[in-house]
A and B are shown apart, each in its own frame.
Chain A
Amino acid sequence: MTALMLSVRDRRDEAAFAALFSHFAPRVKAFLIRSGTNRGLAEECTQDVMASVWTKAHQFDPSRASVATWIYTIARNRKIDILRRERRPEPEDLTWGPEAEPDQIDVLALQQDHVALGRALETLPEKQRELIEKAYFGDLSHSEIAEITGLPLGTIKSRIRLALDRLRHALA
């Protein structure tokens, strides 16, 4: 995926973009539907998100985010925009030194992290994985999660913390 994205970024390669599209567009669409967007709007917005992948390709830095993570952030921001009509303030960009070319070791480490994280998620108990999925896709606040499952807030918080701790340990 990283090589495809770099071809899009550096060579404006339409075939590489088509390959990225066929992998990510159906997932972005699924993500938006799971977040409460209706199918028609989800289709529209996915096209928008994928168009941004092309037009903002120059912002992609493989030493800072995997392709999936980078596309996730674009889809998330679009979701906030369409579901809540809110802006999403972003942190100030770090200013990089003159040698902007990313270190290949960083790029590789990041790809490995992505794989390791995926495996770590697989090994989580079903309940914890569901909670993390709800937190990311359900557009639910912690108190809303508590309402739906009828569990006290404290339990939810500690379970998410536990899940995150496990994620961190798995990546360490």
Chain B
Amino acid sequence: MTIKHHLSDKLLLAYSAGTLPEAFSLVAAAHLSLCDECRAQAAALDSVGGVMLDRCEAVAMENDSFAATMARIKSSLDMAPVAVPPSDDAAILPRPLRDYIGGDLDAVRWRPAGGGVRQAILPTSRRASARLLHIPAGMAVPDHGHRGTELTLVLHGAFRDQTDRFGRGDVEVADQSLKHTPVADIGEDCICLAATDAPLRFSGLLPRIAQPFLRI
């Protein structure tokens, strides 16, 4: 698989520093699951974090800290270890997404989002929202601009907009300056993970009226 569109350095740094809203972290984790290049970058940025931690000017722990920590360890060992689910090579959705859905694509509870597009909103914190979008082959998501940042990761099929074509693993980073109409490739349905920290701005009147009901 050749991924052409990657996470920006800024997003990778924020993911590594732990400052991204949960919905954006989910896109980052899903992209990293598919993209070795960004995974390596993220590992490099984590090691900057490691160096930063090492450089921190030590703040003394309480006198009984070590004993208290050992006591914590003893009590946590009484709890049953968390079973790691077996890896599933046949899955379409990367593991971090399956964790939110409770299964692969067949477990997604789709809701109509207008114009044949279906969506499933994922349970993340309210700082930003994340949803899966199912765009039937050849269909378009209504023309829209953005007030904040929108990240769109393709999981299946492909879409095309004014800027380029995006296939599985590709992520489009859209901000205020981009106004686009994503269209799914004609060959097959397109499934994406989209996250945004502000409501989208639709150009047409009808989608704008529908917006509050769609929660996008």
Contacts and interface: CB of A to CB of B under 8 A. Distances in A.
Interface of A: 14, 18, 21-22, 24-31, 33-34, 39, 42-43, 46-48, 50-51, 54-55, 64-66, 68-73, 75-77, 79-80, 84-93, 95, 113-114, 117-118, 121, 132-133, 135-137, 139-142, 157, 160-161, 164, 167-168, 171
Interface of B: 9-10, 13-14, 16-19, 21-22, 25-26, 28-30, 32-33, 39, 42-62, 65-66, 68-70, 72-73, 76-77, 87, 89, 94-96, 99-100, 124-125, 127
Given A28-B53, A92-B33, A139-B19, 11 more contacts: A25-B69, A30-B59, A47-B72, A86-B22, A86-B25, A89-B22, A91-B30, A91-B95, A92-B94, A121-B48, A137-B52
A14 B66 CA distance: 11
A68 B69 contact: no
Given A47-B65, A89-B29, A164-B13, A114 B51 contact: yes
B181 to A, nearest CB: 27
Q: Which 3 A-B pairs have the closest CB atoms?
A: A69-B50, A26-B58, A92-B95
Contact of B47 (A14, A65, A84, A95): A65
A72 B69 CA distance: 18
B17 A30 contact: no
A101 B97 CA distance: 29
Given A30-B59, A135-B13, A72 B33 contact: no
Contacts of B87: 92-93, 95
A93 B95 contact: yes
B61 A26 contact: yes
A72 B29 contact: no
Interface SS majority for chain A: helix
Contacts of A139: 17-19
Contacts of B58: 26-27, 29-30
Contacts of A117: 47-48, 51
Contact of A88 (B18, B56, B100, B127): B18
Given A21-B66, A21-B69, A141-B19, A70 B50 contact: yes
B96 A91 contact: yes
A166 to B, nearest CB: 12
A88 B29 CA distance: 9
Contacts of B21: 86
19 contacts: A24-B53, A31-B56, A48-B72, A51-B72, A55-B76, A65-B43, A66-B50, A69-B47, A72-B49, A72-B53, A87-B124, A89-B22, A91-B32, A91-B33, A135-B13, A135-B14, A137-B56, A140-B19, A157-B10
Nearest to A91: B32
A135 B58 CA distance: 19
A72 B43 CA distance: 12
Given A18-B66, A92-B33, A160-B13, A121 B76 contact: no
A65 B95 contact: no
Given A29-B61, A164-B9, A50 B96 contact: no
